[in-house]
Chains A and B, each alone.
Chain A
Amino acid sequence: SQTIHQWPATLVQPVGSPLSLECTVEGTSNPNLYWYRQAAGRGLQLLFYSVGIGQISSEVPQNLSASRPQDRQFILSSKKLLLSDSGFYLCAWSGGGEVGNTEAFFGQGTRLTVV
C-alpha cells in the first residue's frame, strides 16, 4: 500500500532563517506531488506541484521554492523565512501517468511558526 511521510510535524523558526520540509511517498512510482499551505480562514492554497523529477510548477509568487531530487521525494525550502510564511504545510500525492481520475492523498502536515 502507498504511504506518505512528511516531517517535521512542528517547527518554530526565527525570521530570516532557512527552511527545509521534506515529503516522501512509498509504494508508488512517478506520482504527482504537491505542496499546499493552509492559513487560518483562507483554506488550502496550492504552492507547488510536480509531475516528474526536476519538474516543478509554482502557483503563486512567494518566498518559497520546491525541488524534486528523486521520484518520490519532494522538498519545500526557503533561504530566509518571513513572518508571513507561518502556516500549516501539507504535502500530497496523486497517481502519476493517469490524467484525471485519481485520488489525492495527504501527509499529516507541518505546523510552521516563524517568530
Chain B
Amino acid sequence: KQEVTQIPAALSVPEGENLVLNCSFTDSAIYNLQWFRQDPGKGLTSLLLIQSSQREQTSGRLNASLDKSSGRSTLYIAASQPGDSATYLCAAAQGGSEKLVFGKGTKLTVNP
C-alpha cells in the first residue's frame, strides 16, 4: 500500500528565501507525481505534474524533481513571497484509474 510522507509539516521563512519541500513515497511504481497548493478553506490548485519518465518540471519560480528509485520528490520555490503562503501537498498516482495518494502537506508561511 502506497504511503506518502511530507517533511516538514510546517515551515516559516523570511521573504526572498529559496526553499525546498520534501515528499517521499514507499512504492516506486507510480504513474506520476503531482504537487498542489491549497489555500485555507479552498480546493487544491495543481502546480506541477511530473510523469514517471521525467526527472523534473519547472513553472516560473517552482521546480519539482522526481527520483523514483529513491522514492523522493522535492518542490523548490525560488525567491519566496508572502503570496506563496499556503499548504503544499504532493500526491502519487497509482494504477490504471490514476488514484492519487496524498501526503498530509507542508504548511508554508512566508513572512514579509
Residues of A within 8 A of B (CB): 6, 32, 34, 41-44, 46, 49, 51, 57, 59, 90, 92, 94, 99-109, 111
Contact = CB atoms under 8 A, between A and B. Distances in A.
A46 B42 contact: no
Interface of B: 31-32, 34, 36, 41-46, 49, 51-52, 89, 91, 93, 96-105
Given A32-B98, A49-B99, A107 B43 contact: yes
Given A43-B104, A43-B105, A104-B91, A99 B43 contact: no
A57 B51 CA distance: 24
Contacts of B36: 106
Contacts of A41: 104
B32 A101 contact: yes
Contacts of A32: 97-98
B102 A94 contact: no
Given A34-B100, A41-B104, A92-B100, 18 more contacts: A32-B98, A42-B104, A43-B102, A43-B103, A43-B105, A44-B102, A90-B44, A94-B98, A99-B96, A100-B31, A101-B31, A101-B32, A101-B51, A102-B98, A104-B93, A108-B42, A108-B43, A109-B43
28 contacts: A32-B98, A41-B104, A42-B104, A43-B104, A44-B91, A44-B100, A44-B102, A46-B99, A49-B97, A94-B98, A99-B31, A99-B96, A100-B93, A100-B98, A101-B31, A101-B32, A101-B51, A102-B98, A103-B34, A103-B46, A103-B49, A104-B34, A104-B91, A106-B36, A106-B44, A108-B42, A108-B43, A109-B43
